[in-house]
Amino acid sequence: MAATTMATVVGAVVLLYYVVSRWISAAAEGEDSDDGDCSKSKSRSLKKRLLRFPFPSMSPSGLFQTVSMLFLAHFVVLLVFTLQTAETRRLAAINSSISAFFVFGDSTADSGNNNYIPTISRSNFPPYGKDLPDHISTGRFTNGKLVPDYLSSYAGIKDMIPPYLDPTLTVDDLKTGVWGDSYTKATEIFQRVQIKNGSGDWKEEHEKADK
């Protein structure tokens, strides 16, 4: 219903634009054709043309063109709204079966856990993150989002998956998924989050989320 209404409004606007354009164009052409007349005669002729609505003198081809433009605008708007509605329904169907993303991976899939451990292997400085909306370096080893971020956004879960070690995480964040669950307390200079201990911290997340 909303799509039909919007299509009708857009079609009416297109039609009005076309009619006004013809109106002004006809008046201007008439004014140009009266170059030999005096100024008062020109003024009276222009007023008559402006007061004359285009439709009565419109040729069959012109009328057909106007109606065609109206139907075309109506069809385009209906098509756009139909596609948007179909996409919304498809994402809603995905959301009904996927509720969270928990990511296990190496540095190529790290959303910023290294920011919270003593290591020099970090990416929380420019130019990392320069393609993100706020151009903020989040700790991802890329200039924008990572693949799991896109998957999570596509499924309608969250736009970007936060790192598990972020101290500002809330229970709602844990319920919808986090990134890189475990870390080692080794003291080597390239200390890093290790995937082999991920199952323990993953269970810990679920316990927090269930409380």
pLDDT tens-digit readout, 126-144: 999 999 988 899 999 999 9
- Given this model, what pLDDT does residue 12 score? 66
Minimum mean pLDDT range among 23-37, 110-124, 134-148 = 23-37
For residue 186, give the nearest of 178, 176, 196 by alpha carbon.
Answer: 196
Distance CA 119, CA 189 (A): 6
How does the average pLDDT of the chain come out, rounded?
Answer: 68
| pLDDT value at 183 more than 50 | no
Whether 87 has a pLDDT exceeding 80, the answer reads no
Q: Count Cβ atoms within 10 A of the Cβ of residue 129 and give its class: 0-12 exposed, 13-18 middle, 19 or more buried.
A: buried
In order, the DSSP letters of the chain are: -HHHHHHHHHHHHHHHHHHHHHHHHHHHHHHHTTTTS-HHHHHHHHHHHHHS-TGGG--HHHHHHHHHHHHHHHHHHHHHHHHHHHHHHHHHHHHTT-----B---GGG-SSGGGGSS-S----STTTTTTSTT----S-SSSS--HHHHHHHHTTS-SSPPBTT-TT--HHHHHT--B--------STT----GGGHHHHHHHHHHHHH-
Higher-confidence residue of 63 and 137: namely 137
Residue 176 confidence (pLDDT): 79
- Rounded average pLDDT over 62-89: 67
Query: Where exactly are the structural domains of the chain?
Result: 2-95, 99-211
The answer, yes or no, to whether residue 96 has pLDDT greater than 80, is no
pLDDT of residue 37: 52
